[in-house]
């Protein structure tokens, strides 16, 4: 069944349609959140929150723009909300940066993976959002602006600054 | 990680693909099969709980509003005529 059909069915109370929507978009939301928070368990919990919230407010989805973008905007808000709360607790907001997952292999691949993960984790939240949405989810600047609730020029400057910082963190040279 | 990777005099699509190539080294685990199904079922169970709570809250709120209106009517009769409820 196509996406719009599933949404209509879910709105009319069909739990199977709602579950199918979750299964279709789970990886998208989970991967976005995981790259934002760099903690698998936290990402799983936040992904659950996002879907519960999205399905409870499915009526507010007007059909403007992609459903996946709508879900990503809820996810972005949930992540921001998480960091706001974490920032109020002593040391809470920095948990993601150096909380290396139990690395027991040191292959070239895993080292590079960790380099990118740590570099992303050190970007500011808006810059990280912009970079992740652009490069991992292939969103256009207009879509990034829509998902993050920023205007186009702000989204553009966040992406640009994010790439400049990423370049420095990954030890690159020249203009990004 | 190669420093050359950041240099691209032309920019554009090629640069985008190159940056994407670097960033994609940070791959995340795929949630699929039984695990995905389990997560979806768990989300649906949570949704049921959230909806039940919301309905219960609405019911309680509805009853509170009814009680308040009823109380206000009784008070209005009492203060206007000092007789409590009319006996018709």
* Model confidence pLDDT, tens digit, residues A114-141: 889 999 999 999 999 999 999 999 999 9
Residue B43 has pLDDT above 70, yes or no: yes
What is the mean pLDDT of the segment spanning A52-69? 91
Taking an 8 Å cut-off on Cβ atoms, the answer to whether B43 and A55 are in contact is: yes
What is the mean pLDDT of the segment spanning A19-41? 94
Residue B39 has pLDDT above 80, yes or no: yes
Taking an 8 Å cut-off on Cβ atoms, the answer to whether A22 and B19 are in contact is: no
What is the mean pLDDT of the segment spanning B34-39? 93
Instruction: Please tell me the predicted confidence (pLDDT) of residue A62.
Output: 83
Please tell me the distance from the alpha carbon of residue B82 to that of residue B88, in angstroms, as a whole number. Answer: 16
Indicate the SS3 state at residue B81.
helix
What is the mean pLDDT of the segment spanning A29-42? 94
Among chain A residues, CA nearest to B9 = A175
Interchain CB contact of A34 with B (< 8 Å): yes
pTM equals: 0.80
Among chain A residues, CA nearest to B15 = A176
Of the residues A17, A23, A138, A171, the best mutation for testing chain B's interface (the one with the most B CB atoms within 10 Å of its CB) is A23
Taking an 8 Å cut-off on Cβ atoms, the answer to whether B22 and A116 are in contact is: yes
For A131, the token pair is: 């970079």
pLDDT tens digits, residue range A73-115? 999 999 999 999 988 877 655 544 445 444 556 677 788 888 8
Please tell me the distance from the alpha carbon of residue B85 to that of residue B9, in angstroms, as a whole number. Answer: 87
Instruction: Please tell me the predicted confidence (pLDDT) of residue A87.
Output: 84
């Amino acid at each position: 069944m196509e996406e719009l059909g599933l949404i209509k069915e879910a709105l009319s109370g069909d739990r199977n349609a709602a579950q199918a929507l979750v299964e279709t978009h789970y990886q998208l939301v989970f991967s976005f959140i995981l790259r934002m928070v760099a903690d698998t368990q936290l990402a799983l919990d936040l992904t659950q929150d996002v879907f519960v919230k999205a399905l409870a407010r499915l009526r507010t989805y007007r059909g403007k723009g992609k459903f996946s973008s709508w879900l990503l905007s809820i996810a972005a808000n949930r992540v921001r909300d998480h960091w706001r709360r974490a920032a109020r607790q002593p040391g809470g907001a920095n948990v993601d940066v150096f909380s290396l997952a139990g690395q027991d292999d040191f292959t070239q691949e895993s080292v590079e993976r960790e380099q990118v993960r740590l570099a992303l984790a050190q970007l500011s939240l808006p810059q990280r959002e912009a970079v992740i949405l652009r490069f991992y989810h292939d969103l256009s600047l207009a879509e990034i602006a829509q998902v993050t609730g920023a205007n186009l020029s702000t989204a553009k400057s966040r992406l640009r600054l994010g790439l400049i910082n990423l370049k420095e963190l990954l030890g690159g040279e020249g203009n990004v | 990680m190669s420093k050359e990777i950041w240099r691209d005099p032309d920019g554009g699509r090629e640069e985008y693909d190159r940056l994407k190539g670097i960033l994609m080294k940070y791959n995340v685990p795929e949630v699929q099969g039984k695990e995905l199904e389990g997560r979806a079922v768990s989300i649906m169970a949570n949704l049921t709980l959230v909806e039940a709570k919301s309905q219960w809250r609405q019911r309680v709120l509805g009853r509170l509003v009814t009680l308040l209106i009823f109380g206000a009517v009784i008070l209005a009769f009492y203060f206007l005529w000092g007789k409590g409820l009319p006996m018709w």
